Amino acid sequence: MGRLNQKITVITGAATGIGEATANVFAEEGAVVICADVDEFQVRKTAEDIKSKDGTAEAYHLDVSSEESVKKFAEYLKDTYGKIDVLFNNAGVDEQGGKVHEYPVELFDKIIAVDLRGTFLVSKYLIPLMLDNGGSIINNGSMSGHAADLDRSGYNAAKGGIINFTKAMAIDYARHGIRVNSLSPGTIETPLIDKLVGSKQDEMGQKFRDANRWITPMGRLGSPRDMAAVALFLASDDSAYVTGEDIKADGGIMAYTWPGKMLIEEDEWKKDTE
């Protein structure tokens, strides 16, 4: 405990899922957590939950795709705290859009605006608050930034961009004492999964989860707390000599080339996940 004692930490997309879990874990480790999200109601719940457990947190309504919104946020942080120590660029959206020739331009623009441009904007305007004291930046990538998904080229492009953008940031700011790394989750049990494929109670949602447990070597979906633990490592001094890296936390999916034996011995492989 106390690995982030009194560290000023900013988490975007903190209303639900990975962001919410990370906000709680950071608070448990002694951080002052600024929870930012476009969902004003839910992000307040995140902050109130932390405070109910004697943690230190506040909520801030932020649209990471809006330069004006991000600039106002940076000004608020400067006036209120003077600096920040940790930034977790976690905010993101995802949606299937079809094959590239069918993909709606407005959907592609939306995903790039929130996921990739949002990471750029928040970094651009908050990094000045880290230049004098150093710190850690974590960008939320994805296994979908390393390999492609059917009908989700916009998300693949955004997350692939974030992973390489992370490396650029790392070399830009290493001599300023700012470490920059990315975290690439696999399939994580979050409200975003419910939105994309259906809940556990829906037939398609259950089929999706069963299929993911089957193809994931560890035999389960990840949890938001699993991701929060990796984010804590990257935020803390435990990773003091780590920068420019992408950590995949995907239960082993990216470790194999194709699920050959799983297909051939389907029944046996599936039994291991039951």
Give the strand pairing for 86-89 and 8-12.
parallel
Which residue is catalytic, options 81, 155, 241, 256? Answer: 155
Give the residues of the chain that fall short of pLDDT 50: none
Residue 202 has what pLDDT? 86
256 is catalytic: no
Tens of pLDDT, residues 27-37: 999 999 999 99
How far is the C-alpha of 38 from the C-alpha of 22, rounded, in Å? Answer: 17
Residue 212 has what pLDDT? 86
**DSSP bridge partners of 58:** 34
pTM, entire model: 0.94
How far is the C-alpha of 175 from the C-alpha of 272, rounded, in Å? Answer: 48
Domains, the chain, in order of start with CATH, read: 8-192+222-260 (3.40.50.720)
Q: Is 68 exposed, middle or buried (0-12, 13-18, 19+ CB in 10 A)?
A: exposed
Residue 273 has what pLDDT? 61
**DSSP bridge partners of 57:** 33
Residue 20 has what pLDDT? 98
Residue 208 has what pLDDT? 86
Phi, psi of 37 (to 5 degrees): -165, 155
